[in-house]
C-alpha cells in the first residue's frame, strides 16, 4: 500500500489523513476523514500543527456551546447582582448606620505647615500685581512702591564700615525635621 499511486489511494475506503492547508515554516492543518467512495468522504476531526506542536481543533458544536455558556454565565451573574440590590437586609441599611470610618487625610500636619511656609516665602518675594476686592469684580492693579536706591557714595561707605551698623538679621526659616522610619 505504501507504493500505490494517488489514484489507487483515492479508490480505497476507510479512515485517512490529508493535508488540508500548509503555511510552510510554522502552520499545517491536517484533516482526519472517513472515505466511503472516491467522491464521498466524511470529516471526523481537524488537527493543526503550530511550531511543531499538534493540537486538535474543536468542532463547531463545542465552539458554539462554549461561547453560549460564557455569555449566559455573564448574564446570570449580572442578574444575581441586580437581585441582591432589590432585597432588603438590615446590614445594608445605610441611613441608620453610624459613620465609624474616618477619612484619611491627604497630607500630614507637617506637610501642610511646610507648604504654608513656602507659599508665604514666595508671596513675600513675588508680591501680587493685582488685587480683586470681591469675586467677579474687575481686578485692580496694585501700585508697588519701590524704595529709592541709596546714592553710590552711601553704598561705598557701608562697605567700608559694616561693623558700625547693628541691624538685626532676618531669622532664617526653620529646616524641616528629620524623617523618622515608620513602625509597622
- Domain that residue 51 falls in: 8-56
**Pair 36, 74 in one domain:** no
User: Computed from CA positions of residues 171, 173, 174, 178, in that sequence, does the dihedral angle turn out positive or negative?
Assistant: negative
With 0.85 as the threshold, say if the pTM is over it.
Answer: no
Instruction: Establish if 73 belongs to a structural domain.
Output: yes
**Alpha helix positions (H), the chain:** 6-11, 60-86, 109-125, 152-160
**Pair 52, 66 in one domain:** no
**Pair 46, 63 in one domain:** no
**Pair 50, 68 in one domain:** no
**Pair 31, 64 in one domain:** no
Instruction: Establish if 48 belongs to a structural domain.
Output: yes
- Judged by phi (left if over 0) then psi (alpha if -120 to 50, else beta), residue 149 lies in beta
Question: Phi and psi of 54, rounded to 5°?
Answer: -95, 130
Cα–Cα distance for residue pair 104/137, rounded to 1 Å: 37
Q: Report DSSP state, residue 101.
A: P
- Count up the domains in the chain and report the number: 2
Q: Give the SS3 label for residue 153.
A: helix
**Pair 27, 37 in one domain:** yes
What is the pLDDT, as a whole number, of residue 150? 55
Question: Angle at Cα 59 formed by Cα 57 and Cα 65, nearest 5°?
Answer: 120
Instruction: Establish if 63 belongs to a structural domain.
Output: yes
- Residues near 128 by beta carbon (within 8 Å), at least 6 away in sequence: 142
Cα–Cα distance for residue pair 173/121, rounded to 1 Å: 9
Cα–Cα distance for residue pair 63/44, rounded to 1 Å: 16
Q: Please state the separation of Cα 156 from the chain's center in Å.
A: 63
Q: Which three cell numbers stand for residue 47?
A: 488537527
**Pair 26, 38 in one domain:** yes
Averaged pLDDT in 10-residue chunks for the chain of 184 residues: 77 89 90 90 92 89 90 91 77 60 74 87 81 76 61 55 52 68 66
What is the pLDDT, as a whole number, of residue 106? 77
What is the pLDDT, as a whole number, of residue 75? 93
Instruction: Establish if 43 belongs to a structural domain.
Output: yes
What is the pLDDT, as a whole number, of residue 28? 93
Question: Phi and psi of 48, rounded to 5°?
Answer: -130, 145
**Pair 13, 52 in one domain:** yes
Amino acid at each position: 500500500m505504501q507504493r500505490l499511486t494517488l489514484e489507487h489511494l483515492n479508490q480505497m475506503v476507510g479512515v485517512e489523513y490529508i493535508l488540508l492547508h500548509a503555511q510552510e515554516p510554522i502552520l499545517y492543518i491536517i484533516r482526519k476523514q472517513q472515505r466511503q467512495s472516491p467522491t464521498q468522504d466524511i470529516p471526523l476531526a481537524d488537527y493543526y500543527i503550530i511550531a511543531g506542536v499538534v493540537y486538535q481543533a474543536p468542532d463547531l458544536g463545542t465552539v458554539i456551546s462554549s461561547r453560549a455558556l460564557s455569555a449566559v454565565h455573564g448574564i446570570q451573574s449580572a442578574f444575581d447582582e441586580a437581585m441582591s440590590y432589590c432585597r432588603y437586609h438590615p446590614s445594608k441599611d445605610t441611613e441608620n448606620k453610624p459613620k465609624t470610618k474616618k477619612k484619611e487625610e491627604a497630607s500630614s500636619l507637617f506637610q501642610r505647615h511646610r507648604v504654608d511656609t513656602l507659599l508665604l516665602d514666595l508671596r513675600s518675594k513675588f508680591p501680587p500685581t493685582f488685587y480683586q476686592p470681591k469675586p467677579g469684580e474687575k481686578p485692580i492693579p496694585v501700585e508697588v512702591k519701590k524704595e529709592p536706591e541709596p546714592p553710590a557714595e552711601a553704598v561705598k561707605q557701608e562697605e567700608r564700615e559694616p561693623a558700625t551698623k547693628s541691624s538685626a538679621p532676618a531669622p532664617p526659616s526653620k529646616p524641616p525635621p528629620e524623617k523618622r522610619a515608620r513602625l509597622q
